[in-house]
Amino acid sequence: MLSWKRMLYVVLIVAAVSFIFMLYNINEERTRHIRITNIQEEKREFTGTQQLSGGEKPQVRLVGEGSGEVCQDIRRNMEQLFANLHYTVIREEELRPEELEPGELVVFCDASVGKYTDLVQLGDFIERGGHVILAAGLPEGNEDSYLWPILGIREKSVRENYNRFCFEKELFPVQADEMAYEGYAQSTWLAVGENADVYIRDGDSGVPLLYTCEFGKGTVCLINGTFLSDMQSIGLLTGAIGAVEDDFIYPVLGTKTVFLDNFPMLTYINDRLCMQMYGCSTESFIRDVVWPDFQGMSLRTQTPYTSSVLAVSSSEKSFPEINDSLFSTIGKSALQFDGELIYAVNCGKEGEVCLNDPFIEEFRSVFTNYEIQGLAIQEGAFLQELPDIPGTKIRAVRTSLNGQDAGFSCEKAYVEFPEATAGNSMEDGNLFHLSSVLAAYGMISHTFDVNTLIAEDEQTASWDEKKGQLGIFEDVMLKETSWLDGRVLSRMGDEIRSYLNLEYAWKREGNRIELACSDIVEGQAFFFRTNGRILSAEGLTFEDAGNGYYLLRVQQNQAVIIMEEE
pLDDT at 117 exceeding the cut of 70: yes
Instruction: Tell how strand 372-380 and strand 187-192 pair up.
Output: unpaired
Q: Find the angle CA(81)-CA(85)-CA(91) to the nearest 5 degrees.
A: 65
- Sequential DSSP letters for 18-35: HHHHHHHHHHHHHHHS--
Domain 64-245 in CATH 3.40.50.880? The answer is: yes
Contact 415, 492 (CB under 8 A): yes
d(CA 498, CA 520): 5
d(CA 37, CA 382): 28
> What pLDDT score does 475 carry?
96
> What pLDDT score does 539 carry?
95
The pLDDT tens digits of the residues spanning 293-324 come to 999 999 999 999 999 988 888 777 777 676 66
Q: pLDDT: is 332 or 128 the higher one?
A: 128
pLDDT at 507 exceeding the cut of 70: yes
Q: Find the angle CA(375)-CA(379)-CA(385) to the nearest 5 degrees.
A: 50
d(CA 433, CA 180): 9
What percentage of the chain exceeds 90 in pLDDT? 61
Contact 344, 261 (CB under 8 A): yes
Q: What's the pLDDT band for 446 if we cut at 50, 70, 90?
A: very high
The pLDDT tens digits of the residues spanning 124-177 come to 999 999 999 999 999 988 888 999 999 999 999 999 999 999 999 999 999 999
d(CA 200, CA 171): 9
Q: What is the CA 255 to chain-centroid distance, rounded?
A: 9
Q: What's the pLDDT band for 454 if we cut at 50, 70, 90?
A: confident
Residue 253 φ/ψ, nearest 5 degrees: -80, -40
Q: pTM for this structure?
A: 0.90
> What pLDDT score does 212 carry?
98
Give the list of residues 6+ apart from residue 23 with CB closer than 8 angstroms, or none.
none
Q: What is the mean pLDDT of residues 550-565?
A: 95
d(CA 552, CA 541): 6
Q: What is the mean pLDDT of residues 7-22?
A: 58
Give the torsion through C-alpha atoms of 533, 536, 541, 544, to 10 deg.
Answer: 20
H or E segment at 15? Answer: helix 4-32
Q: Where are the domains of the chain?
A: 64-245, 255-491, 499-563
d(CA 394, CA 525): 25
Q: What's the pLDDT band for 27 if we cut at 50, 70, 90?
A: very low
Give the list of residues 6+ apart from residue 481 with CB closer than 8 angstroms, or none.
173, 174, 256, 438, 444, 545
What percentage of the chain exceeds 70 in pLDDT? 86
> What pLDDT score does 227 carry?
96
pLDDT at 450 exceeding the cut of 90: no
> What pLDDT score does 123 carry?
96
> What pLDDT score does 461 carry?
77
Q: What is the DSSP letter of 230?
A: S
The pLDDT tens digits of the residues spanning 387-441 come to 788 889 999 999 988 765 568 999 888 999 999 999 999 988 899 999 999 999 9
pLDDT at 101 exceeding the cut of 70: yes
Q: How many CB atoms lie within 10 A of CB 352?
A: 12
> What pLDDT score does 30 carry?
45
Average pLDDT score, the chain: 87
d(CA 302, CA 183): 32
Contact 212, 239 (CB under 8 A): no
> What pLDDT score does 471 carry?
93
Contact 132, 119 (CB under 8 A): no
End-to-end Cα distance, the chain: 99
pLDDT at 257 exceeding the cut of 90: yes
Q: pLDDT: is 106 or 336 the higher one?
A: 106
Q: What's the pLDDT band for 32 if we cut at 50, 70, 90?
A: very low
Q: What's the pLDDT band for 338 if we cut at 50, 70, 90?
A: confident
H or E segment at 546? Answer: strand 540-546
d(CA 461, CA 359): 27
Q: Write down the architecture of domain 255-491 according to CATH.
A: Alpha-Beta Barrel (3.20)
Q: Look up the CATH number of domain 499-563.
A: 2.60.40
Contact 448, 216 (CB under 8 A): no
> What pLDDT score does 435 carry?
97
283: helix, strand or coil? helix
d(CA 355, CA 309): 12
> What pLDDT score does 26 carry?
44
Q: What is the mean pLDDT of residues 325-333?
A: 75
Give the list of residues 6+ apart from residue 281 with CB closer than 8 angstroms, or none.
271, 274, 275
